[in-house]
Structure 1
């Protein structure tokens, strides 16, 4: 399950993440998307582009994967001094 912030909800709603997806708007304007997909690596790459505008509610494995990717990106950028 994914939850998209209101400012990206329209774009997320127009995106087909997987044929099995079901989306619904929440009272606060966020978009909740449920789907079953096996390609977690591909999904993580796509969700990475949404930054902090998406919350990966479940599965935990996908959430953990994106956390690892974000930590790796932070580590890489932190080791270089500011230009």
Structure 2
């Protein structure tokens, strides 16, 4: 069974935009029994450091590339529902 967890990654120092916040709030309303997990820079730095490609992309602020790597890393570790922000 797939765990009732929804993951998303938000890297960089920009705050979430209005549409992203609306999406998150809709998940909370429609899926109240799901845990919504945000992976920010703090939570991801250890994973990023394990991969030279991800580390270089992060240092260059190529967050879309880093997110691709992290998404697979996180999904492989637990098999969750993923959403693109």
- What TM-score comes out, normalization by structure 2 length? 0.24
Higher relative contact order (CA 8 A, sep 6+): 2
Larger radius of gyration: 1
- What TM-score comes out, normalization by structure 1 length? 0.24
The structure with the greater share of residues assigned to helix is 2
